[in-house]
Amino acid sequence: MKRQTFAVWFIIFIVWAFYRAYFHLPDWIDEFLIKPVVFVFPVIFVLVGEKNPLKEMGLWRSLPDFFLDIYLGVLIGLLFALEGMLANFIKYGQFSFAPILALKVSGGIVPLLIINIATSIWEEILGRGFLYQRFYKISNNQFWAATSSSVLFLLLHIPILFTSLHLRGISFLVYPISILLLGITNSYVFTLRKSLTLPILIHAFWNMTVALYL
């Protein structure tokens, strides 16, 4: 299982790195069309035939637990929003959203949120539902599984760091560190809640916060 998991990740990494290097399509195409095919299709291919794959990946949830996850996610999102506003004020000396590239590209705060939720779904299915869950099952060591899967999750973001974002200075350090911390945090949240709902929301709101700073 361990070798198979690494093989799936490696194939996804190569395909995604190639796509990022040679194709520059609108964000909505990346997040609604390309990423689900590249990130999720190989996972589905591997999991076909396994027992209760949706439940193990955190994609099956009772309604009361689902709504509780939504409630917790919104509360955490509000905290992230306050943090992002503070970071924005510290960076620009005032509340200024005009220079933020993510808002310019997406066309506003609502489209940006929708895109972030979409990308969070695909990335959490791969990062936590597949990589972390399988590493945890293999090793029975939560810290190792969370760290290892989060490093692999971070490496998937390296191509965009050099092809699209063109970050400089402190932002170049903040971006990968934030992704690594997000991966580790969501791994523990996934184990705690046994669902991807809350990690997806945390991921989406975290991305929004980082966008306000970068």
pLDDT tens series, the chain, 214 aa = 778 899 999 999 999 999 988 888 888 899 999 999 999 999 988 888 777 777 778 888 888 888 999 999 989 888 887 776 776 676 666 665 554 555 555 566 777 788 889 999 999 999 999 999 999 999 999 999 999 999 999 999 887 776 666 666 676 777 788 889 999 999 999 999 989 999 999 999 888 777 666 5
Nearest to 3 by CA among 176, 138, 97: 138
Residue 8 confidence (pLDDT) = 93
Q: Which two tokens stand for residue 106?
A: 């997406």
How does DSSP classify residue 59?
-
169: left (phi over 0), alpha (psi -120 to 50) or beta: left
Q: Which residue has the tokens 């190569």?
A: 14
Residue 63 confidence (pLDDT) = 86
Residue 201 confidence (pLDDT) = 93
The stretches of 59-100 forming alpha helices (DSSP H) are 63-92
Residue 13 confidence (pLDDT) = 95
Locate the domains of the chain by residue range: 2-213
Residue 99 confidence (pLDDT) = 46
Contact 169, 45 (CB under 8 A): no
How does DSSP classify residue 108?
S
- Rounded-to-integer distance, Cα 109 and Cα 208, Å: 9
Residue 116 confidence (pLDDT) = 87
